[in-house]
Structure formats: C-alpha cells, structure tokens
Amino acid sequence: MTISPDTLLTRVKTAEALTAAGFPVSPATLATKATRGGGPAFSKFGPRVLYRWCDALEWAQGRTTPVVVSTSEAA
C-alpha cells in the first residue's frame, strides 16, 4: 500500500503503517512519545491525534542506526 506523504493518520493507523514499513511501533509508544516528547510531530482534530505520514516515517528513519557489519561497530 502506498501512502501519500501528506496523508493524515490516526495513532493506530500510524503505528500500523510504520510497522508495515519495517519500523515496529505500537500505538501506546506513540501515545507515550506524544506526552513525554521524542515522537513524531502531530496535530489534533478535536480529541483525535493525527500524524502526517511523512513526519512519522521521517521520525522512524531518524531513529535507525547506520548499517554495520558487526556489533563492535555499533558501540
């Protein structure tokens, strides 16, 4: 499934889309990050939190380490 970069997704749909893209994350993690900081940018529509797909994907990619060939390189 291809998602347009500006598509607004609910927290559950964002978690599903990120997981499908190879970044396993739960809605609970996104909720925690929304209150404590460190998560993707979001907007509110009434009581609902909405994430732009491009912001969520950029956040997930930014948390990924560079490729390494051994665990000693990751340190």
The distance of Cα 59 from the centroid of its chain, to the nearest Å, equals 6
Structure confidence at residue 48 (pLDDT): 95
Q: Are 52 and 3 in contact (CB under 8 A)?
A: no
8-39 in b/e form (b: 16+ CB < 10 A) is bbebebbbbbbeebebebeeeebeeebeeeeb
For residue 43, what are the CA distances in angstroms to 12, 15, 19, 55, 58? 14, 16, 21, 11, 16
Written as one letter, the residue type at 48 is R
pLDDT single digits (tens) 24-42: 999 999 999 999 999 999 9
pLDDT single digits (tens) 57-69: 999 999 998 888 8
